[in-house]
């Protein structure tokens, strides 16, 4: 998060009024307009305050004769003030009842993203935590050109296939022995525990003296390398793309639209970007240039975490930096509490 110099109370109130007005109207805000907002100071004093805010980087003047608009730092100051003064949002009973009727966890989160989008008028999302499945057994099947088909069976009879190209040759009998060893050693463990166990065994000195074990573990390391469980993301509100992407000029709007569409398509990368935004557990707001990824620097992301009693996921909103932060923060906070209640009781 960007740091900003401490502002006097009056300057903070004037900045907050400017940000609110710009969010509502989308036009530069002049000192003359602010003079009618009941601050009890002259237009000259307001001009002086505006100049000071601009000098410190909270506002900018897009045109010589125009008023000012907030910068990302100005939005940050405003949001920090909102967060300091806000009360925790309450779960909405009507929404809670609708989510309880949704059925599966996937349905709950899909409906939650829809509720967030509808209430915030932005793109809503819900991220399900990655489910770490339990390893039951695997089989290796030798293919042409030294490739190996891996058939992995996890808890509940779920079967997945992958083809690997090991860096050393393996015969059919050796593959069977390797599968027997791995099944006996790791059956009943989660995939992440299996991967950790394999790496730990590879580092142990005894593998140097047992060639069969060492080769089996190297093969297993290649097998489990790409099997990291991935969280799922549910997105609603893509029909609001044009509204979200609204900008001052058509060229900027088109670029923003393309960025949003690409993010919607690259769901795994979007999860990683959102995960990077979250500051531990609870409510987080990341604004514009605070994002490390250039693709998100035209947007703000408001997220809040939830738990199903074991793992942590998140719900939130992606929207323009000129979003209604107060409403969006309350919507996201409220929905995360609803999802928390619903999933902890399922």
Report d(CA 36, CA 39) in Å as an integer: 8
Those residues whose C-beta lies under 8 Å from the C-beta of residue 313, and which sit 6 or more positions away, are 109, 126, 127, 128, 129, 231, 305, 306, 307, 339
pLDDT of 39-57, one tens digit each?
888 888 898 999 999 999 9
Those residues whose C-beta lies under 8 Å from the C-beta of residue 62, and which sit 6 or more positions away, are 28, 69
pLDDT of 222-272, one tens digit each?
887 766 666 788 988 877 766 655 555 566 666 667 777 777 777 777 787
pLDDT of 172-195, one tens digit each?
998 998 899 889 989 998 888 888
Helix, strand, coil tally for the chain in percent (to 5): 55, 20, 25
Q: What is the structure's pLDDT at 241?
A: 63
Sort 259 into a burial class: Cβ within 10 Å, 0-12 / 13-18 / 19+.
middle
**Cβ pair 37, 28 in contact under 8 A:** no
Q: Which residues of the chain have pLDDT under 70?
A: 1-5, 65, 130-132, 156, 205-209, 226-230, 241-256, 279-280, 345-346
Domains annotated for the chain, with CATH where assigned, are: 9-84 (1.10.10.10), 87-130+231-344 (3.30.450.40), 135-224 (3.30.390)
C-alpha of 231 from chain center: 10
């Amino acid at each position: 998060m960007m740091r900003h110099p401490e502002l006097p109370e009056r300057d903070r109130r004037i900045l907050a009024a400017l940000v609110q007005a710009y969010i509502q109207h989308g036009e530069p805000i002049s000192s003359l307009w602010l003079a009618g907002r009941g601050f009890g100071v002259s237009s000259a004093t307001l001009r002086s305050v505006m100049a000071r805010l601009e000098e410190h980087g909270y506002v900018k003047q897009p045109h010589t004769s125009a008023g000012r608009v907030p910068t990302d730092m100005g939005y940050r100051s405003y949001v920090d003030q909102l967060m300091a003064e806000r009360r925790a949002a309450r779960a909405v009973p009507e929404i809670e009842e609708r989510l309880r009727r949704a059925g599966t966890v996937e349905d709950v989160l899909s409906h939650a993203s829809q509720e967030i989008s509808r209430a915030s008028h932005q793109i809503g999302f819900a991220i399900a935590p990655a489910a770490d499945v339990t390893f039951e057994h695997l089989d290796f099947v030798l293919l042409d050109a030294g490739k190996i088909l891996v058939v992995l069976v996890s808890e509940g009879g779920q079967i997945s296939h992958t083809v690997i190209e090991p860096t050393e040759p393996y015969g059919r009998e050796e593959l069977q022995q390797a599968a027997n060893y791995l099944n006996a050693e790791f059956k009943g463990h989660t995939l992440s525990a299996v991967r950790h166990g394999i790496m730990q065994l590879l580092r142990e000195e005894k593998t140097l003296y047992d060639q069969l074990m060492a080769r089996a573990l190297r093969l297993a390391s290649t097998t489990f390398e790409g099997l990291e469980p991935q969280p799922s993301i549910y997105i609603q509100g893509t029909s609001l793309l044009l509204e979200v992407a609204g900008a001052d000029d058509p060229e900027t709007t088109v670029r923003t639209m393309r960025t949003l569409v690409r993010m919607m398509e690259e769901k795994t990368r979007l999860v990683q970007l959102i995960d990077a935004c979250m500051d531990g557990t609870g409510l987080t707001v990341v604004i514009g240039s605070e994002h490390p990824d250039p693709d998100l620097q035209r947007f703000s992301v408001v997220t809040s975490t939830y738990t199903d009693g074991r793992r942590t996921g998140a719900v939130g909103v992606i929207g323009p930096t000129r979003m209604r932060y107060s409403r969006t923060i309350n919507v996201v906070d409220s929905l995360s509490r609803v999802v928390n209640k619903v999933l902890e009781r399922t």
